[in-house]
Structure 1
Amino acid sequence: MLGQVNNEGRLDPKERHEIGTRVRRPLFMRCLYRASIKKRIKHTAHLGSPQTQRVISNDDAATMQQSFPMNGGDGPHSYRNNSHFQRQDINVSRTMIEEAIAKKLDVKCFSSNPFRLADLGCSVGPNTFIAMQHIVEAVERKYLAQGLKSEMPEFQVFFNDHVGNDFNTLFASLPTERRYFACGVPGSFHGRLFPESSIHFMFSSHALHWLSKVPEELLDKNSPAWNRGRIHYTSGPEEVSHAYAAQFEHDMEIFLSARAKELVVGGMIVFLIPALPNGIPASQNPYCVMFDLLGASLMDMAKEGLISEAQVDSFNLPIHVASPEQMTEMVEKNECLTIERMELVDSRSKLVGPINGKECAMCLRAGLEGIFTQHFGSGIIDQLFDRLSKQIMESSHQLESGNKEGTLLFVVVRRK
């Protein structure tokens, strides 16, 4: 029954409320029901070999979209101007990449033109351009060595990084004399990026140590893995290290399965990743030591009242430094991939002179400022990395005397 209408032709307010309630309640219940159904939906993704399937929930898909982009632009704190350590690693590995292509990449089995390459985690340049040019030249030499000059393909390079990456700076600085067609592919590499059997060669440098998310146990006060007063696992209890390792293994399984699907048979992945020799504690790795120094700087700032300890307790860097043993196990789990070469490289041996605290701090800031700003705000950033610079100099002996077996893992994987 309709409510009473007043002299102006409007419903009485009380009647209007009652009718609105009767109309809205069923609609609200229908929406609530749909939401509950959606939460139970699972998406099945066929990744890797036909025998291997992963079930990825909506929550998993959401975590794949978490973005930790490097500092964009061309300013004093940009990744573009503060990534020379990463560039050094690319240059150190150049000969090894050329050897892998010359000895292990059989271009005769590739029938498609163009030859497609992808850089996963390309950031904003110029390092990605240097790497792509080296690879294109090495592939060209391989075609010539196999007597296939008349079949020399054109090249297409896909530059991939998170949606939040500064692709404008990347493409504005593309080399004018490049010998390839360039494309951008925004999205997380913790999932599919390309059509099946479409890529011939993939490359990734200083990207795979980033986790898709922070392990949830680290933020649970009732968990033995609660990482109170720290932002990394370097000096944390064993439970914290295990949580990081488990998340890394989960992410790598998805990464490798996706790449196995996207690579052509005989295709290749080469990646460079910060690493820890088998059996060596994280406290002897310079990357991990600097993460600990960052955590110590934050705790000092908390004691001074600049931030709260609760803010530090609820922040953890989503970065894991893997060992060769761990990487070997992950690749061997995938039936479609085989390891052609894995080697620890001590790129620090190529650096000249003692550690420069300011230089190291600037490099870390270019890569980490975004994630620190998201959590702590921009007001502490200058002071945080100034403190880090001083702490690096005070800990220079520890950083320089760390393990000499190598801090960079060079890996060549081929698609069976």
Structure 2
Amino acid sequence: MAGAVQSGNISKANPMNGGHGLYSYTKNSTYQGKVIVAVKDLIMEAISEKLNSCIISSSNTICVADMGCSVGPNTFIAVQNIVEAVQKKYQSQGQGHSGLPEFQVFLNDHSVNDFNTLFRSLPPNRNYYVAGMPGSFHGRLFPSNFLHIVHTSYALQWLSQVPMEVEDTSSPAWNKGRIYYSSAGDQIAKAYADQFSKDMDCFLHARAKEVVCGGLIMLTVPGRLDGSPHTRVFSNVCYDILGSCLMDMAKMGITSEEKVDSFNIPVYFSSPQELEATVERNGCFSLEKLHCLPLEKTQTSIPEKARAISYHIRAGLEFLLKEHFGHEILDELFDSFNRKLEKSEVFQYGRAYSLFALLKRKPT
């Protein structure tokens, strides 16, 4: 028997809301879509400058993977940007239209992702072939030396699991009374940072086996500036507000404090320095570019912003919240969350940044 295929299903699934309903990811991922548009020029530039000529001359089929694709239209925008950039690169090398490669695109997410909605939404006139690849990107998903380009956007901030010590009542890092790390003690923040580091190690180790020499990884994650406190990150403040709403409901007897104590959001916002350290530690990729991009502020009213953020976070966290607390509390929870957002100062002092990193596979 040949060597066994390694499963990628080694992490806990946290699927976004599927379908096309009011709280679906499809209808509430506009911000992620804006980020993909914002990095388009960086992707075009990366492929133009860094995609190896030997790949262009030797490959009739370019294999692309979008990891953490979810269900909305954003993955198709990202894929089309990549396909167009590669075609432009080929043409700049003197290849005519007849010499352009074909593209095999793999859309990856956990097996519980709403792939039905995803595939029903495929662009009808796409210029690439598509296949689904279920599994966790924290493990192996593809054969060795198979992928030419890996793209992931707003997915790697999701941890494979909540750090164990955060949920251990005997640990000094037990996160009692909170659902997140940003306003907790240093030990809890360190536990989250360490988990992010471990997960990035797993991600890069798996991709080092799958990406061809000279192949590219383009990743975009929500992050923060080097030295910036976690308490000033926009999304972190929002998660803390959501946690306060759950504690209010516990005090009213709608849920229990024990349930709140045992719930933690498995998300971490890294700094450029932390991201760079994981790449250096892995050693299989060169970090070609690293940009920190600020979020452009919208000019809508505070109530409109609060509602958009409430729907956005519900689309991302509803699965976890429903699994832990039951669906009965969701409407009341997010009504309370929306009201607190309107009264908070998060829109004045909260900061939102995206980190874009370009990695290139080193020669083996």
TM-score normalized by structure 2? 0.94
Please name the residue that 1:358 is paired with: 307
Contact between 2:9 and 2:110, CA under 8 Å: does it hold in 1? no
Give the one of 89, 94, 106 matched to 1:142: 89
Q: Which residue in 2 is equivalent to 1:162?
A: 110
Matched, 1:327 2:275: yes
Measured in 2, the distance between the counterparts of 1:67 and 1:398 equals 29
Per the TM alignment, residue 45 of structure 1 is displaced from its structure 2 partner at its CA by 11
| Aligned: 1:202 with 2:163 | no
Correspondence for 1:373 among 322, 328, 336? 322
2:282 is paired with a residue of what secondary structure? coil
Name the SS of the counterpart of 1:249 in structure 2: helix
Aligned to 1:152: 100
Whole-angstrom distance in 2 between the partners of 1:205 and 1:354:
28
- Partner residue of 1:391 out of 334, 340, 360: 340
1:90 paired residue among 36, 52, 56: 36
1:25 corresponds to: none
Change (3 A) 1:293 1:265: same
| Cross-structure match for 1:343 | 291
Structure 2 gap segments, 5+ residues each: none
Asked whether 1:408 is paired with 2:354, we answer: yes
In the other structure, the counterpart of 2:264 is 316
What amino acid is the match of 2:313?
L
Please give the alpha-carbon distance, in whole angstroms, between the structure 2 residues aligned to 1:87 and 1:225. Answer: 35
Matches of 1:399 and 1:203, distance apart in 2 = 30
Please report how far the alpha carbon of residue 352 of structure 1 lies from its aligned counterpart in structure 2 after TM superposition: 3.2
The residue correspondences of 1:257-336 to structure 2 (distance < 5 A) are: 257-336=205-284
- What is the DSSP-based 3-state SS (H/G/I as helix, E as strand, rest coil) of the residue aligned with 1:81? coil
Aligned pair count? Answer: 356
Q: Matched residues in 2 for 1:373 and 1:181: separation? A: 36
Residue by residue over 1:186-215, the C-alpha shift from the partner in whole angstroms, topping out at 9 and shown as x without a partner, is: 000010010111011111011000010111
Q: Residues 155-180 of structure 1, C-alpha deviation per residue, up to 9 Å, x if partnerless?
A: 01100000100000000110001000
Aligned to 1:68: 14
Corresponding residue for residue 127 of structure 1:
74
Structure 2: how far apart are the matches of 1:109 and 1:156?
Answer: 15
Per-residue deviation at 1:354? 4.3
Deviation string 1:34-57 (CA, Å, 9 cap, x unpaired) is xxxxxxxxxx999xxxxxxxxx9x
- Cα distance in 2, alignment partners of residues 243 and 45 from structure 1: 33
SS, match of residue 348 in structure 1: coil
Q: 1:11-50, aligned counterparts within 5 Å?
A: none
* C-alpha displacement of 1:107: 4.0
Equivalent AA in structure 2 for residue 116 of structure 1:
C
Aligned to 2:189: 241
Counterpart for residue 63 of structure 2: 116
Aligned structure 1 segments of 4 or more residues deviating by more than 6 angstroms: none
- Check whether the contact 1:297–1:388 (CA below 8 A) recurs between aligned residues: yes
- Distance, in Å, in 1 between the alignment partners of 2:347 and 2:223 is 15
Judge conservation of contact 2:51–2:216 (CA < 8 Å) in 1: yes
Counterpart amino acid of residue 85 in structure 2: A
Distance 1:410 1:352 in 2: 25
What TM-score, normalized by structure 1, do the two folds share? 0.83
* SS of corresponding position for 2:214: strand
* Mapped pair 1:105 → 2:51: yes
**Cα distance in 2, alignment partners of residues 234 and 299 from structure 1:** 16
Q: Indicate conservation of the 8 Å contact 1:107/1:142, yes or no.
A: no
| Alignment check: 8 A CA contact 1:185 1:193 kept | yes
Q: Structure 1 pair 213/386, CA: closer, same or farther in 2 (3 Å)?
A: same
Give 1:62 deviation, angstroms.
9.7
Q: Tell me how far 1:63 sits from its aligned partner.
A: 7.7
1:324 and 1:303 mapped to 2: Cα distance? 39
Distance in 1 between residues matched to 2:9 and 2:135, nearest whole Å: 12
Amino acid at match of 1:101: I
What letter matches 1:309 in structure 2?
E
Structure 1 residues 45 and 230, CA gap change in structure 2 (3 angstroms): farther
Q: Is the 8 A contact 2:27 2:72 kept in 1?
A: no
Identity in percent: 47
Distance in 1 (alpha carbons) for counterparts of 2:234 and 2:29:
16
Structure 1 residue runs of 5 or longer lacking an equivalent are 1-43, 47-55
Corresponding letter in the other structure for 1:297: C
Q: State the structure with more CA Rg.
A: 1
Cα distance between partner residues in 2 of 1:336 and 1:147: 31
Q: Residues 193-247 of structure 1: CA distance to partner in whole angstroms, max 9, x if unpaired?
A: 1011101111101100001011111111111100000001011011100111111
Higher relative contact order (CA 8 A, sep 6+): 2
